[in-house]
Amino acid sequence: MGDLRINRPSRIRSRRPAEITAGDIGDAAPGWGHNGGPPLDHVPEWGVGGIGNYFAWRAASEAAFKKVPAETALRRAKKAETLGLTYREYQLEILERGRFLQAEDAARIAEIKAKRRK
């Protein structure tokens, strides 16, 4: 019946099984019955454990940031820059608390800056 392992490189597929050496295949070639899936030590984007609400959260987060008109986004970016925040931090404050930060909100701005990853 021959060698039916079609996932081998063409230089190996054309030879008889007796002619193939370990150096031709290499260490990276999958063995018999391997489906070519991810390695067992692969950590997915959502981290270790179950998926939970990862995809729903990700879609909602992307939708919240993409539905802002360009003029509004530019105005908020300038306002965030004057307060010393990033656009994302300023936008999250609007979405979470429902209020726009002002210069008088120095305590809240200091809290946001303290939470930044270093």
Is residue 49, in this structure, part of any structural domain at all?
A: no
The predicted model scores a pTM of: 0.52
The model's pLDDT over 5-14, given as tens digits with 9 standing for 90+, comes to 555 555 555 5
Q: How does residue 27 score in pLDDT terms, banded at 50, 70 and 90?
A: low
Is residue 94, in this structure, part of any structural domain at all?
A: yes
Q: How does residue 20 score in pLDDT terms, banded at 50, 70 and 90?
A: low
Residue 26: its pLDDT value, please? 54
Is residue 20, in this structure, part of any structural domain at all?
A: no
Distance of alpha carbon 22 from alpha carbon 41, whole angstroms: 25
Is residue 44, in this structure, part of any structural domain at all?
A: no
Number of independent structural domains in the chain? 1
Q: How does residue 68 score in pLDDT terms, banded at 50, 70 and 90?
A: confident
- Two tokens, residue 115: 């939470």
Is residue 46, in this structure, part of any structural domain at all?
A: no
User: Count of CB atoms within 10 A of residue 101's CB?
Assistant: 19
Residue 82: its pLDDT value, please? 94
Is residue 35, in this structure, part of any structural domain at all?
A: no
Q: Which domain holds residue 96?
A: 68-114
The model's pLDDT over 69-98, given as tens digits with 9 standing for 90+, comes to 899 999 999 999 999 999 999 999 998 888
Distance of alpha carbon 82 from alpha carbon 11, whole angstroms: 62
Is residue 36, in this structure, part of any structural domain at all?
A: no
Is residue 103, in this structure, part of any structural domain at all?
A: yes
CB 87 within 8 A of CB 102: no
CB 112 within 8 A of CB 85: yes
